[in-house]
Amino acid sequence: MPTQSAQLDSPRPTTDAQLAARAVSAAKVYGEGDAAVHALRGVTVDFPTSRFTAIMGPSGSGKSTLMQCIAGLDRLTSGQAYIGDTDISGLSKQELTLLRRDRLGFIFQQYNLLPSLTAKENILLPLTLAGKHPDEAWLHEVVKTVGLTGRIDNLPSQLSGGQQQRVAVARALLPRPELIFADEPTGALDTSTGQEILSFMRRAVDERGQTIVMVTHDPHAASYADEVLFLEDGQIVDRMDSPTAERVLDRMKRFEG
Amino acid sequence: MLQIVLSSVRHNRGRYISTLLAIITGVAFFSATGIVSDRVTGALEGDAAREYRGVDLAIVPADEAGSLGDTGRTLYLDGSTIRKLAGLPGVSATAGVLTGPASFLDAKGKRFASKATGRLWVDDDELNPLTIDAGRAPTAPTEIAVDRGLAESQHLKLGQQVTVATAAGPQQSTIVGTTSFGSSDAIDEAGTISIPRSRAFTALSDGREQYEAMYLRGSAAQSALVQEAKTAVPSGFKAQTGAAFVADQAESAGELGRYIKRALQAFAILALLVGAFVIYNTFNVIIAQRMRELAVLSAIGATPKQLGRMLRAEGLVVGLVGSITGVLIAIAVTTIAIAGLNAAGVDVPGSGLALNTTNTLGAILLGTSITLLSMLAPARRAGRIEPIEAVRSAAVEPSHVSRRRALIALVLGAVGVLGFLAGSSVEIVGAAAVLLFIAPIVGSPNLVMASTRLFRPLLSRFGLEGRLAVDNVARSPRRTATTANALYVGVFLVTLVTVAGTNLRDFTVEQINKIGSADYVLTSTGATLQPQLLDRYRAIDGVRQVVGFRRSAVTIDGKASALSSGDMKAVGEVANLKTRAGSITGLKDGEIALNPRADHPRVGSTVKVVAQDGTTEELRVGAVLDPESLDTAQIGSVVTPATLERLAGPGGDTVAFLALDDGAGTATNTKIDDLAADRPDVVATEGNSLGRLIGDIFDFMIKAVNGLLMMSVVVALIGIINTLSLSILERRRELGLLRIVGMVDPLVQRMIRLEAVLIAFIGTLTGVGVGLLTGWGAIFAITRLTDANVAFSIPIGLVGVVVVTGAVLGVLASILPARRSTKASVLDALAS
């Protein structure tokens, strides 16, 4: 197992593709002494631009921790995380916040919309916080893409779960971030709505060259990605190009077995 | 059952903190007030009882003198009376009381300890209320004793040579002893200088042997002594048994303490009532957050009654814990404070902690019952929960605000205003004020919604965080309303007291100043104003006229009063002296120009005047003075010089009125005050000082009341902190999201600050608005119901201070919640 892991953790032979993000010997430990939990045990991984990468693994494998540490939501215990060429391990809280605002997008399982803002205001939130004005044509297109035309003046409470998640996707897409992180984006949705959301994400990668990193435990969701990384016990144990739901499911079954 | 209750309280400890704080603050204040004032009161009463225990018979003035406007009425017992009393069978010792102004002069002739009292040293140990602490009693004319406090504060030592200034002028003396009065330093407020009998009459009463009161000691029964003494007691005095006298002394010694205690505890109760809003809010939120748990209990068979009882028991536990903690804190704080004061050289009378059961149990009972009362409604609501709530998602407080509330509030307010406009009695106007006060509380959720709508455009200009702040405040209007109400109560009262107080003050001062009077009044206590002295005042630049006259204390028909005589024509020129009937200048020998009194004697009737030494004369009322002049109080009644001489013997002027040139400046005032410095018996009072004094009293009352109302404002502050903290707890997901998508921490904190300021503003502005309206209503009603015409003006500066204070309080209240809002990890947004 260790040998296999070492081999798989080595940087993927990327040719001229640029990297949107990467982690080098990323380790994360919660707690101390006997109670210490090693969530990440020295993960080295690249996320090339214009790719849709899925991170999978059983519960407690560290997949969410990996994403959170690369996204600057949490700090690594040791190792480095980069967004583009920026080493985020050395950034202050404020610098991290500004980096997230200006360069990253987020989609969460629980939609996470502000209840008092309309759909449109929620979509514009990152731009508003940055003091920027939206490109109206682009806004129109994003709204159209996610199928929210005519509903953008509604409050979240007046929207269905699927519609709320579309708002969240639009919010992530609108600022054209270097990288979008999605954490179980379809976890709270029914199958067909989930598929729609995943299609938007897929199209954003194909048509706009958007880079997306998605954490999921759903093999079907993972099948929309270009590549799937499998984590177990804080380490990357496998990867799969051009995944299909069946192959991912088979791989996942091996964890349980 | 109790197990569930206790574990529930433990589990919700964090949430109960604000409730506890609110209870503790109020109870601790209540209890500390009780402890300190009981200790002081007890000590003062004890002192009086102990130090006067040797007195078997006391001859004291028949009625209380010394109230405002009763100048010059002090009656004296003369030497012959005291000897007559001493000769009564069964009397073994006597002691006369004589006091007068006394102070010290330093090497440069400057006065210090200028408010001290010179006191005739009582030689009989058992009758002397003072005790020698160090040294010995003064006997020779050049010896004095000073009280312990004076010795300490003025750094006086035994054997030290000092210059004592009295009515007789400066005199070199030696300090031979220090004294104390029970557990207090001195019997007199500003210190006691004890003067031996060999010098006292010269120094304190212009050489005459006279006394203000007398204590006697004897072998016979006290009641028998009183019976015997009755014949010898002159007009204006009464004989009291020692027991009655001691009771009176203890009563008056403790009176102020008891009064202050009642007043302070009233404010503590108010703070607790404001705390009730905080407690009510907290319980509501706690119950809302535990809906699921309660629904589960309900589903498995807990009846509404049981649920209600369980929650009330929780309230009881929290109330008891808070109240007992409050009492313990009060004990700790008062102990430390008293120790600190003692260490700093401030003497706090009494010893130990006055921990009586009334204080302790009363405070605990008060805190607990207010807690219980505040949670009755939330508990009842929780009892009615449907089991289905257990399977529903998060229980959300209804944010629906009923219009009926607004309507009821408007009707209440309108009836209140109507009461001010048309109420025919004080009671109706009072009820109107209460209605007006209650109306905003009833309609407070609507008021919150209206305010948020009003403030939205303004706060939106701050940016997204301002906009979100308004939304958050409006999210649960009822909770915001209760929070703001706690502040409203305090601000309303502050505004009302300030507005009504300043307007009444201005009116009263204006009325008093309108009466007009002499510019200055010179009074000598116990001596005379010699012509040479008056000439020196005449010589002061800016003094236009100086008119001296003689005033003497007498009883008129048994009541202590004053008689004046002199050049009444000149007095009339300087002072604003008027008559209702007859004329002063036409007064004949044997006639009196009477100061009017309750039974309205007419011109031509006769009154019986008794002088100090018992000389009695029937005088015919020749004129009746008009009391609508301040100077009438200074003069008393007027007789001719010959009449006064027959009654009181020969004597010089004791009072003088000064008139100043119109343009006389402060230099004149300073010179007048400086001249008085050489003669401690001479007091120079500005004629319009009464107006100023009353203005000062008003100002002091307004400030004191407002200062104490701050207690309730502090409790309201706890409420804001509480509400914000809870709302942050509920919104941690949103806050996390905002920070993930790029809201930097300072902006998040600013949002919380704006929320706090907005809540504070809603409470403050409502309080100021309704307070102003009620203040206006009260003034309007006074003007309408009485013949006084009180002008109403808004003290804009003060109102501004209140509003700014409200905003500052909001910012203060937001410090902790704002810090907490960004302390949590942004990952909270992802937690489900």
3-state secondary structure B268-302: HHHHHHHHHHHHHHHHHHHHHHCHHHHHHHHHCCC
pLDDT digits (tens, 9 = 90+) for A188-225: 888 888 898 899 899 999 988 999 999 998 999 999 99
Mean pLDDT, to the nearest integer, of B242-254? 83
Q: Please state, in angstroms and as integers, the Cα–Cα distance from residue B666 to each residue in B389, B543, B671, B675, B710, following that order.
A: 78, 12, 9, 14, 38
CB contact under 8 A, B830 and A100: no
3-state secondary structure of B740: helix
Q: Which residues of A touch B472 (CB under 8 A)?
A: 116
Nearest in space to B319 (alpha carbons), one of B356, B272, B281 = B272
Q: Closest partner residue to B468 among A64, A102, A116, by Cβ?
A: A116
Give chain B's end-to-end CA distance (angstroms, integer): 32
CB contact under 8 A, B737 and A112: yes
Q: Which residues of A touch B473 (CB under 8 A)?
A: none
Which chain B residue is nearest to residue A74, measuring alpha carbons? B827
Q: Categorize the per-residue pLDDT at B684 as very low, low, confident or very high, splitting at 50, 70 and 90.
A: confident
The alpha-carbon gap from A52 to the nearest alpha carbon of chain B, in Å, equals 21
pLDDT number for residue A10 = 41
CB contact under 8 A, B741 and A126: yes
Q: Closest partner residue to B740 among A73, A98, A109, by Cβ?
A: A73
Q: Categorize the per-residue pLDDT at A256 as very low, low, confident or very high, splitting at 50, 70 and 90.
A: low
CB contact under 8 A, B468 and A117: yes
Q: Please state, in angstroms and as integers, the Cα–Cα distance from residue B362 to each residue in A175, B31, B185, B269, B367, following that order.
A: 64, 8, 32, 11, 9
A244 in reach of chain B (CB within 8 A): no
Task: Note down the domain range covering A219.
Answer: 49-72+90-256
Which of B203-217, B244-258, B457-471, B677-691 has the lowest average pLDDT? B677-691
Using the 8-state DSSP alphabet, how is residue A12 labeled? Answer: P
Q: What is the CATH number of the domain that holds A203?
A: 3.40.50.300
pLDDT digits (tens, 9 = 90+) for B424-456: 888 888 899 899 999 999 999 999 999 999 988
pLDDT number for residue B646 = 87
pLDDT number for residue B323 = 93
pLDDT number for residue A21 = 93
Tokens of B616: 């009695």
Mean pLDDT, to the nearest integer, of A105-133? 86
- Whole-number percent of chain A with pLDDT over 70: 92
Mean pLDDT, to the nearest integer, of A87-105? 88
Tokens of B373: 């009362």
Q: Which helix (H) or strand (E) holds B619?
A: strand B616-625
Q: Closest partner residue to B832 among A64, A110, A114, by Cβ?
A: A110
Residue B480 has phi, psi (to 5 degrees) of -55, -40
pLDDT above 50 (res A7): no
Give me chain A's average pLDDT, please. 86
Q: Categorize the per-residue pLDDT at B408 as very low, low, confident or very high, splitting at 50, 70 and 90.
A: very high
Q: Which residues of B touch A102 (CB under 8 A)?
A: 742
Q: Which residues of B touch A112 (CB under 8 A)?
A: 733-734, 736-737, 829
Within-domain flag for A119: yes
Within-domain flag for A22: no
Domain boundaries, chain B: 1-55+244-396, 56-243, 448-516+688-832, 520-687
Within-domain flag for A146: yes
Mean pLDDT, to the nearest integer, of A137-142? 90
Report the domain count for chain A.
Answer: 1
The whole-angstrom separation of Cα B832 and Cα B817 is: 22
Q: How many CA atoms lie within 13 A of B582 on its CB side?
A: 23
| Contact criterion met (CB below 8 Å) for A28 and A65 | yes
Q: Closest partner residue to B742 among A64, A116, A130, by Cβ?
A: A130
pTM: 0.69
Which chain A residue is nearest to residue B743, measuring alpha carbons? A129
